[in-house]
Amino acid sequence: MIDHILTLLIAIPLLGAAAVAVWPAKRPESFRIIALVALALEFLLAAFLYFSFDNGNPGHQLSEVTDWITLPIGALGVVSIDYALAVDGISFPLVLLAVVVLFVGVISSWNIVQKSRAYFALYLLLTGSVIGCFLAQDFFLFYLFFEFMLLPMYFLIGLWGGPRREYAALKFFIYTFFGSLLILIVMIALYLSVIDPLETAKAVGILGIDDPIHPDLISQIQQWLIDGKIAPEQLVHTFRFAYLADPNNYIPGSLLSIASEYSIGSIPLRLLAFWFLFVGFAVKLPVVPVHTWLPDAHVEAPTPISVVLAGILLKIGGYGFIRIVDGFFPVEAQHSAVPLAILGMISIVYGGFNALGQSDLKKMIAYSSVSHMGFVLLGVAAFTAEGINGAIYQMVSHGVLSAMLFILTGVVYDRTHDRRIDHYRGLIAVMPQYTIITGIAFFASLGLPGFSGFVGELFTLMGAFQSEALPVWIPALSTLGIVLAAAYFLWTYQRMFFGAFWYKNGSLHVLSDLTRREKGMLIPLVILTILLGLLPGILFDMTGPTVEAWLGGLE
Amino acid sequence: MPDSAYFLPAYLLLGLPFLGFLLLWSAGKGFNKPAGWAGALITASGLVISLLYADIHALHIINFHWLSIGQTPIDLSFRFDVLTCIMLAIVHFVALLVQLYSISYLHGDKNLHRYFAFIQLFLFSMIGIVLSGSLLVMYIFWELVGLSSYLLIGFWYLKPRAVWAAQKAFVLNRIGDAAFLTGILMLFYYIGSTDFEVIASNLDTINPGILTAIGFCLFGGCMGKSAQFPLSGWLPDAMEGPTPVSALIHAATMVAAGIFLLARISFLLTFEARLVIAIIGTITMLIGAVKAMQVWDIKRVLAYSTMSQLGLMVVAVGFGSWQTAMFHLATHAFFKAGLFLSAGSVIHAVSPANADLNFDPQDMRTMGGLRKALPVTFSCFTICAASLAGLPFFSGFLSKDAIITEGFLWAGELGALFYVFPILVIFSAGLTAYYMTRQLWLVFFGENRFSISQIHPHESPALMWLPMAFLAALSLFFWFSWNPFDAAGWFLAFIGQEAEAHLAWVPVIASAVTFVSISLAFRQTKTENPFKVVASKPVDNLVIETRKFAWLRDYSNTDYFIIPFAFITKYLKIFEKRFIDSIIDRIAKMSVVLGHLIGWFDRFFVDGGVNLIVYSIRSGGQAVRNLQNGKIQSYYIVTVMGLFLLILWLVIL
């Protein structure tokens, strides 16, 4: 079991989804229990992983590699797709976050009775694909999971959402599908340019089946490629992240080889591929100006789906930036640091101003997500240890905080079906516990020291200041984001919670304080944000060595 | 004592108030009665600890490892030195008196346990600032002070204006903090640490231009917390909080944090940075003094006066003399806290038994003649006011004198133009004397002008006047220097001020200006309508502004931040809707049109062609058409199949 723990992590929710789909009982309660059991198992596995994860090891851990598809296709060589899973310091925190957020999401879905069989089946499908995304070490596999997320997400918004759910779902789908199309194009180009040196060596006969791998092998292969000694049929093409990230595995003269002379117009092909990938993941993060699907999707999505969307799905964008965009195109990324950082800065400030202008609570929080994810882009663009570590930290922190914020929004929405900020006043009188937890979530999100939000912002900004490539004014202007965050959170807090109690559409009986289930979701998240805020080492010790090795490898 | 001996006091000084906060908060309403005594006890033990560990001859630094990023460790360091000693003593002492006072003043409030919990949280954060050994640590506690100030100003959360004032304070502070953070991160970049010792020893590695920029940024933090122009708008509004809170955080401690910060970093301020600091300080000092002459709210006069005095301290730092700034900070902490507590006692005395919405107990126009009813409050107020006004034999005289002397010495080195600064300081001292006389007269002299009848002014209980009396006693000269006309007493020597040339004419000139202003104000009291008290009608300040962003707007007219904010927000929202979204919309619509075109093409040409050629394939054409049924699943399947075909095509090629 221990050998295949990562497979298990993907398989459990998928099996759960199958179980929900075929379960004979019609009672809606049974479906949510299956989902809960599946996520509880995930949680236990993740907890086990947490204790067995070796923080000091910068490489892959718990690797599982199996040849999946090996297909000789004539002049295009051999397609080799591996079922490769592993965790390292970059993906592991996000896997943990995914399990926590998805677990909370199930509890938050507890009251969904309408078409609950389909709901929980789709939810578990989503769970499996999200976790698969973070575990995959093969681009093809990653892309499979990445695409697989869209479908359940589309239905979860489109069938269980609010009044304009169909519009929102379609918008979400079109945006992300457009993004994945760009990724796909680059994926194919990468495939044509990269070989698996070991398999190729075996195919050519430089390396016997049982021979030990000798250090000059790769350079030898490269020399053979330059000399044209290897026939195209013998090349074994691969999608493995590890090979794609290593310039020595690119075929000289291929589309995306390091010294590629291909260009479209005056733009070198590698740079173009970099921007394609960037935009593909920027839609997910989201980066201004490809962010407009997010507020709509959030407003229409049911509470648990908002939680999952903001808590985890957006992080795949940030993860893609680090692992794929920067990982495969480090030189281009460093050259483009300034435009990337400016986009991050714009997201931070633009998202903040828009959040300030919203009157719908959920939309305000959605825009605050745009602003907070801008810090991730800023950190990634900085390309320094502080920046990348800070970006990962910010993703985890925002995952926890946005989950809290959307659950809190769901609390009033469940009671009144009304999310207008100006329809409430003085909620503290009837919902004191709700007021306190919202206060904590708001202050944590606006970056108060002691909570996780502060650390994420501090280190992404610090990374951006440290970066040699970035001028000082970019991070300096980005600090406007923390001013705006204080303004929109506190203004909302004041309008909804303080003063004399008043609710536009009814009496105060509707507004009861938090239930035990709601507290059960919120309090662990509060503890988590405080824990991460006081002891950021929990995460930084995990990510630090890997990021350092990763940055060192890209030099 | 070795450095390691200082872990214990650090733990205790920070741990006790934090535990106090947690305990008092979770104790619930049943703990309302003993809460104040518990809080005072904690603070008293803090005072004892800070005095026990006061070691003025050496610097002690302790380090905690916080985290490492890659190879870079980030430590949290705390330090004990002379500056720490003084601030610890002031903070604890004032906090102790204020808590004792609050027990009586807020007697009967149903959330009293929370009030004292918040005071403990404030102390925790403030002591953190004082102990911090690096700017990063200071920033962390700086923000927490912002939080506790928010909680305390907004303590009466049912009052909309109090909550507004609270968030306004937080947001305006945040603007300064953003600059502060920028400065900190720039130091991290250029030096790799923000530890004061490390910065001091690596200072010459930085280009002076950049050092000036860093100085400006760090001063941003001071502008927020110490209410310097243009971030000063929150301080008068913060008077919506309970009066003892104003005494503690908006007179003696929190607003002093900015000055403390400047004192800590004064070694890295370049001449240009100092000059800007002096200019900003002067502007603040004058605005505060002028505003204090105009307002009618008893607490707002003091708030504007605090702003003005903070400006004076900032000017002192600009003169290059953080020692005199700290001196004035210390004397000001006592007499201003005394003034606020006395003002609280007055408000307490004139508040009608049953709250009357049309009566504002803080309006000086409806006071007057209270010296007979409140003799103790009157004497405390008068002593503290005399100290603020800078009369000889009071502490304020000494510290103001010291700053003016520094100013003349500084200007003397730089040239004639720079004399404008010390002259403006003397001018503002004159204004100070004027508005304090005005306030004293409006509140305590003349006939009473109560607008309603149920007011029966009475002296406050001993628990309230004792702290006032303590603070008044501390406003006398001999606590700071034996010679009432020479500031160079033990205090300045204690914080390391070198004995400098003493300008004998400065005290003379300064006192002369003060006396002239007082006599001007006195003449005003003899006129028919002193200070225009009758003509001006009380404004109805209970009207709540419902305009957008009103919460950030002052009740006075400091609108400058709001206009751009509201403007940008409004137009970005429109931009988002009209531009970004509509582009996407257009693309979507165009694709639909294109889809219809292709569909039409498909039906008439492809389909028709197929029909013509092979009749039997018609059912197949039907199936293709069915795919365009507007269901996303089928689009998805088509796309996936398309992908497969694409790959297949590539593969076969």
Q: What is the mean pLDDT of the segment spanning B583-592? A: 68
State which amino acid sits at residue B350.
Answer: V
A contacts of B580 (beta carbons < 8 Å): 289, 292
pLDDT at B555 over 50: no
Say yes or no to pLDDT of B258 above 50. Answer: yes
Question: φ, ψ for residue B350 (rounded to 5)?
Answer: -100, 5
Q: Which residues of A touch B562 (CB under 8 A)?
A: none
Which residues of B are less than 8 Å from A480 in CB distance? Answer: 178
- What residues contact residue B221 under an 8 Å CB cut-off, 6+ apart? B139, B142, B176, B177, B179, B180, B183, B258, B261
Token pair, residue B225, equals 């917390």
Per DSSP, the residues of B438-497 read HHHHHHHSS----SSS-----PPPHHHHHHHHHHHHTTBGGGT-SSTT---SHHHHHTTP
Yes or no, beta carbons of A73 and B143 under 8 Å apart:
no
The pLDDT-based confidence of B121 (bands split at 50, 70, 90) is very high
Q: What's the DSSP call for residue B531? A: G
Q: Which two three-digit tokens encode residue A401?
A: 């905080």
Residue B64 confidence (pLDDT): 87
pLDDT of residue B534: 64
Min CA distance, A455 vs chain B (Å)? 10
Please list every residue in chain A whose beta carbon sits closer than 8 Å to the beta carbon of residue B582.
Answer: none
Question: Does B647 sit within 8 Å of A537, measured CB to CB?
Answer: no
Residue A60: strand, helix, or coil: coil
Angstrom distance (rounded) from CA A393 to CA A415: 34
Looking at CA atoms only, how far is residue A518 from chain B in angstroms? 21
Between positions 467 and 486 of A, the ones with CB within 8 A of B are 472, 475-476, 479-480, 482-483, 486
Distances in whole angstroms, Cα of residue B465 to Cα of each of A269, B102, B374: 80, 11, 10
Per-residue pLDDT band for B650 (boundaries 50, 70, 90) equals low
Residue A97 CA, distance from chain mean position: 10
Q: What's the CA gap between B261 and A495, in Å, rounded?
A: 34
Whether residue A70 lies within 8 A of chain B, CB to CB, comes out as: no
Alpha-carbon span B133 to B79, nearest angstrom: 5
Give the model confidence (pLDDT) of A381-424 as tens digits: 998 889 999 999 999 999 999 999 999 999 988 888 888 888 88
**What gap in Å lies between CA A10 and CA A132, rounded to an integer?**
6
**Least confidently predicted of A197-211, A524-538, B264-278, B330-344:** A197-211
**Facing residues of A194 across strands?**
A250
Please, is A51 exposed, middle or buried when counting C-beta atoms within 10 Å of its C-beta (0-12, 13-18, 19+)?
Answer: exposed
In this prediction, residue B354 has a pLDDT band, given cuts at 50, 70 and 90, of low
Q: What is the residue-wise DSSP string for A435-478?
A: HHHHHHHHHHHTT-TTSHHHHHHHHHHHHHHH-SSS-THHHHHH
Q: Which residue of A has its CA nearest to B158?
A: A499
**In the block, residue with structure tokens 């889809």:** B595
Please write the tens of the pLDDT for every residue from B520-547.
888 877 777 777 766 555 444 444 444 4
Give the whole-angstrom CA distance, residue B18 versus residue B12.
10
Secondary structure element (H or E) that encloses residue A553, with its range: helix A537-554
- The pair of structure tokens assigned to A246 is 């290593």
For residues B166-182, average pLDDT: 89
Interface check B651 vs A, CB under 8 A: yes
pLDDT tens, residue by residue, A158-169: 888 888 888 888
Mutate to test the interface with B, among A498, A532, A543 (most CBs of B within 10 A): A498
pTM value is 0.88
The DSSP code for A251 is P
User: How far is the C-alpha of B421 from the C-alpha of B318, rounded, in Å?
Assistant: 10
Helices then strands, each counted (H, E), chain B:
25, 2
Show which of residues 50-79 on chain B sit within 8 Å of chain A, judged by CB atoms: 66-72
The complex's ipTM works out to 0.91
For B605-634, letters b (16+ CB in 10 Å) and e give: eebeebeeeeeeeeeebeeeeeeeeeebee
Mean pLDDT confidence for A7-36: 87
A64 vs A230: CA distance, rounded Å: 30
- Report the Cα B574 to chain-centroid distance in Å: 34
CB proximity A74 to B under 8 Å: yes
Give the residue from B173, B189, B187 showing the smallest Cα distance to B222: B173
In angstroms, the Cα distances linking A119 to A22, A154, A298, A404, B603 are 13, 12, 17, 22, 37
Do B381 and B466 meet the contact criterion of CB atoms below 8 Å apart? no
Instruction: Give B64's Cβ-side CA count (13 Å radius).
Output: 15
Please give the Cα distance from B127 to B124 (Å, whole number): 5
> What is the distance between the alpha carbons of residues B144 and B150, in angstroms, rounded to a whole number?
10
pLDDT averaged over chain A?
88
Separation in Å, CA of A155 to nearest CA in chain B: 9
For residues B396 and B337, is the Cβ–Cβ distance under 8 A? no
Mean pLDDT along residues A446-451: 92
Residue A106 has pLDDT above 90, yes or no: yes
| Residues near A18 by beta carbon (within 8 Å), at least 6 away in sequence | A121
CA gap A71, A237 in Å, rounded: 10
Read off the amino acid at residue A517.
Answer: R
* B160 with A449: Cβ contact below 8 A: no
User: Among B314, B297, B178, which Cα is nearest to B237's?
Assistant: B297
Rounded CA-CA distance A235/A237 in Å is: 6
The count of other CB atoms within 10 Å of the CB of residue A198 is 18
Flag whether residue A174 sits within 8 Å of chain B, measured between CB atoms: yes
